[in-house]
């Protein structure tokens, strides 16, 4: 058995490619197309329920003024809220969309005119119209949903729009809405509170003046400008005086110690001291020393050029030794000395006088700092005494000032509100009356686009689901990815024009099976199995045997183990052919077991067995070594033995031959062979020790159109 058969085949491809995806899409194209068109068809069917709408628009301009203050009460906590332009605009939008304004508008136009669908039967006529008592509330909800208010953040223009099937009704409704809104806001902002607020503000103003007068008198008495700053200055001054007093006291003690030490050192100093003493034996322009220096320079120059035993160098060394002896014994020495009055006495005397003067100045500074400390302490006491009184007056003045300011502000705001209310729409101007475009708009395009989008999603989901749940294989790459086996050959349906391509593919398959491996051996015994008889296993075997026998001239044996044993005879054996006496005892030592019949086919070098299933080859009781020995003997006679085994679901003979042959090929038919069945055949062959050469795909179809396939 050739154990390298699997190694010679190409490794299976496991990556999913775009070609595989498109093949699956075109295979399930009908279901995907239905999934795509169904939402679009539904959208087309419901489009009559979305009529053409006309939009009426009006534009208002909100002027930011003091009129935009919130509602106030007279005696509550601060209720005057100053709002900016954005909040003012939002307030106007809230009034415009209020239920009261919309209710008045509906009452003026009429429910039947605005929303006639409320008076008709509901749900395709199955339910009666809404009761009369519910129509008004439902009309308010519908009106609020159709009224759109746009307030750009960078502008004070408010755009109001209303949609309706009738253009005239949309215009009338929008104009009525603007008029009712202006009338309603006039009543909302109408308020007369300014006289009372002005009176209260005047009362608090008198109390504030009294408090300020008392505060001014108290500050004048204590000579204050800012109490906190004055207290901080007094405390800092007090702390500074204390720090300076400590420093002066330390300096006074230090000066006293310096005076005592200076006086002690002055008494111990001598009156006269030696200024300097000098002793030397050197004289200017000394001939001996000059001669010695010249000899040293000459010796250095000679040493650089000659050896140390050079006569001139030795002579110079003697001269230098004589000069050194002369200088040491006969050179005279000179001595000089001088005594002067001790200069430290004068320095210490001057320093002692300076210290005594400084000690007197320090004593006077200490006395002055004591007086300053007393005055600073008195100032601190006065400020501490005035602090609680001034703080009480300050708090009282702050409360009175805030109250007066609030009342004044609210009174002025109320006065402006009253003036604005009298001018009705002081801060809201209508800059564009109701206008409706003669061309309406409809939801039909959006509905169709949504239907198309949903259709695309549903088609994608349908394609993924069907591709995921599909149990048959379509393409060679899918066979390799799902079975983990290399595809050795791919054959199309001959009735669809694949004859020439199948012939080329058969040549290629035969060449792959007959190629010599690295060890110089070929596959000599090959077993072919299939999950079902619909895959074209017999046709494939006949074509492969004919190609090997005819194209290569190899002696080939087709061992048919099918139960009938006649499936190939009518196609390969000519009428009147005789049996070939092939299985002699020396070739087939079967121990007396009946050998199968062997027939010479129409093609030279191609032989076919008959009734092999009833012979030793189909007998499961024959020992495996005996069959292996027989196959070995047959391999010496034939160049290639092809074994056609029945289905594994009906016979186990294929499992018996799996470990004895050089390799097994599994035949898979596109669109017919189920994945689970093919995996069962593969796993069963491998579980008994067989080698899988690969798979052969039959019934191959090209689902992708040529125009699309050209770009892949």
Whether pLDDT at 426 is above 60: no
Nearest-5° angle of CA 430, CA 436, CA 437? 130
Give dist(CA 86, CA 64) in Å, integer: 9
Q: How confident is the model at residue 81 (pLDDT cuts 50, 70, 90)?
A: very low
Q: How confident is the model at residue 666 (pLDDT cuts 50, 70, 90)?
A: very high
**Which residues have CB under 8 Å from 423's CB, separation 6+?**
none
Q: What is the pLDDT of residue 583?
A: 62
pLDDT (average), residues 123-146: 79
Q: Which of 223-227, 355-359, 708-712 has the lowest mean pLDDT?
A: 708-712
Answer with the residue of higher pLDDT: 211 or 614.
Answer: 211
pLDDT (average), residues 398-404: 86
Q: What is the pLDDT of residue 47?
A: 73
Give dist(CA 38, CA 459) in Å, integer: 10
Whether pLDDT at 278 is above 80: no
pLDDT in tens, 545-580: 888 888 888 888 888 887 665 667 777 877 766 677
Whether pLDDT at 137 is above 70: yes
pLDDT in tens, 584-600: 555 554 444 566 778 88
Give dist(CA 206, CA 444) in Å, integer: 73
pLDDT in tens, 513-554: 887 565 657 788 999 998 877 677 888 888 898 888 888 888
Contact 455, 663 (CB under 8 A): no
Q: What is the pLDDT of residue 422?
A: 57
pLDDT in tens, 161-207: 888 777 888 888 888 888 888 877 777 766 556 667 778 888 888 88
Q: What is the DSSP string of 650-701?
A: T-SHHHHHTTTSSEEEEEEETTTSBHHHHHHHHHHHHHTT--EEEEEEEEE-
Whether pLDDT at 133 is above 70: yes
Strand order in the sheet with 692-700: 487-492, 692-700, 663-669, 525-529, 640-644, 556-560, 606-610, 597-600
Q: How confident is the model at residue 607 (pLDDT cuts 50, 70, 90)?
A: confident
Smallest Cα–Cα separation from 650: which of 617, 609, 686, 613?
A: 613
Q: What is the pLDDT of residue 235?
A: 80
Q: What is the pLDDT of residue 205?
A: 84
Smallest Cα–Cα separation from 526: which of 508, 544, 539?
A: 544
Q: What is the pLDDT of residue 7?
A: 36
Answer with the residue of higher pLDDT: 154 or 305.
Answer: 305
pLDDT in tens, 467-516: 777 778 888 888 888 888 898 888 887 544 446 678 888 888 888 888 75
Distances (CA, A) of 223 to 186, 218, 229, 378, 389: 57, 8, 13, 14, 14
Contact 404, 205 (CB under 8 A): yes
- Highest-confidence segment of 54-63, 265-274, 478-487: 478-487
**Which residues have CB under 8 Å from 159's CB, separation 6+?**
57, 58, 59, 149, 150, 151
Contact 665, 488 (CB under 8 A): yes
Q: How confident is the model at residue 442 (pLDDT cuts 50, 70, 90)?
A: low
Q: What is the mean pLDDT of the chain?
A: 77
Q: What percent of the chain has pLDDT over 90?
A: 2
Nearest-5° angle of CA 677, CA 679, CA 685? 105
Q: What is the pLDDT of residue 563?
A: 63
pLDDT in tens, 237-250: 888 888 888 888 88
Q: What is the pLDDT of residue 332?
A: 62
């Amino acid at each position: 058995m050739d154990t390298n058969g699997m190694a010679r085949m190409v490794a299976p491809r496991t990556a999913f490619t775009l070609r595989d995806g498109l093949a699956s899409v075109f295979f399930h194209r009908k279901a995907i197309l239905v999934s795509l068109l169904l939402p679009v068809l539904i959208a087309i069917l419901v489009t009559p329920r979305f009529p053409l709408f006309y939009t009426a628009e009006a534009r208002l301009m909100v002027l930011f003024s003091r009129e935009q203050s919130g509602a106030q009460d007279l005696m509550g906590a601060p209720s005057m809220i100053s709002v900016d332009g954005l909040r003012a605009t939002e307030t106007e939008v809230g009034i415009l969309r209020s239920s009261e304004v919309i209710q008045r508008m509906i009452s003026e136009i009429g429910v039947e005119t605005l929303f006639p669908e409320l008076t008709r039967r509901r749900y395709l006529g199955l339910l009666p119209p809404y009761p009369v008592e519910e129509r008004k509330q439902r009309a308010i909800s519908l009106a609020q949903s159709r009224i759109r208010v746009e307030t750009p953040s960078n502008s004070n223009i408010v755009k109001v729009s209303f949609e309706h099937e009738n253009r005239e009704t949309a215009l009338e409704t929008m104009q009525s809405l603007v008029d009712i809104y202006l009338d309603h806001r006039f009543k909302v902002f109408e308020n007369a509170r300014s006289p009372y607020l002005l009176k209260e503000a005047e009362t608090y103003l008198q109390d504030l003046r009294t408090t300020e007068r008392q505060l001014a008198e108290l500050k004048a008495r204590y000579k204050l400008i800012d109490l906190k700053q004055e207290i901080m200055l007094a405390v800092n001054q007090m702390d500074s005086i204390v720090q300076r007093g400590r420093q002066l006291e330390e300096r006074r003690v230090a000066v006293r110690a310096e005076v005592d030490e200076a006086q002690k050192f002055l008494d111990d100093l001598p009156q006269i001291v030696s200024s300097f003493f000098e002793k030397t034996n050197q004289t200017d322009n000394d001939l001996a020393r000059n001669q010695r220096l010249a000899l040293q320079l000459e010796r250095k120059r000679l040493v650089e050029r000659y050896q140390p035993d050079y006569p001139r160098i030795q002579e110079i060394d003697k001269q230098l030794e004589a000069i050194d002896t002369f200088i040491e014994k006969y050179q005279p020495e000179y001595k000089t000395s001088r005594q002067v009055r001790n200069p430290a006495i004068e320095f210490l005397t001057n320093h002692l006088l300076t210290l005594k003067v400084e000690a007197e100045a320090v004593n006077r500074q200490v006395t002055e700092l004591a007086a300053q400390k007393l005055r600073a302490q008195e100032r601190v006491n006065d400020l501490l005494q005035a602090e609680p009184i001034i703080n009480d007056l300050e708090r009282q003045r702050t409360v009175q000032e805030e109250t007066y300011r609030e009342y004044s502000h609210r009174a002025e705001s109320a006065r402006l509100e009253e003036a604005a209310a009298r001018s009705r729409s002081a801060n809201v101007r209508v800059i564009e009356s109701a206008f409706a475009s003669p061309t309406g708009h409809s939801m039909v395009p959006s509905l169709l686009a949504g239907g198309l989008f949903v259709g695309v999603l549903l088609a994608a989901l349908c394609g993924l689901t069907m591709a995921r749940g599909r149990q048959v294989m379509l393409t060679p790459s899918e066979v390799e990815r799902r079975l983990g086996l290399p595809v050795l050959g791919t054959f199309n349906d001959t009735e669809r024009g694949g004859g020439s391509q199948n012939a080329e593919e058969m040549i290629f398959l035969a060449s792959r099976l007959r190629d010599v491996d690295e060890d110089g051996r070929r596959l000599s015994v090959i077993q072919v199995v299939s999950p079902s008889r619909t895959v074209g296993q017999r046709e494939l075997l006949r074509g492969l045997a004919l190609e090997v026998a005819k194209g290569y001239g190899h002696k080939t044996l087709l061992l048919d183990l099918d139960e009938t044993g006649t499936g190939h005879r009518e196609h390969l054996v000519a009428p009147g052919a005789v049996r070939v006496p092939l299985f002699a005892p020396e070739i087939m030592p079967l121990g007396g077991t009946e050998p199968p019949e062997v027939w010479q086919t129409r093609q030279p070098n191609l032989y076919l067995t008959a009734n092999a299933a009833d012979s030793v080859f189909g007998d499961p009781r024959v020992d495996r070594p005996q069959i292996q020995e027989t196959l070995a003997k047959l391999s010496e006679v034939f160049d290639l033995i092809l074994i056609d085994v029945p289905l594994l679901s009906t016979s186990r003979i294929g499992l018996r031959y799996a470990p004895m042959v050089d390799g097994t090929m599994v035949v898979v038919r596109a669109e017919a062979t189920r994945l689970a069945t093919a995996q069962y055949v593969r796993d069963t062959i491998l579980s008994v020790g067989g080698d899988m050469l690969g798979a052969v795909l039959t019934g191959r179809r090209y689902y992708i159109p040529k125009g699309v396939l050209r770009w892949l």
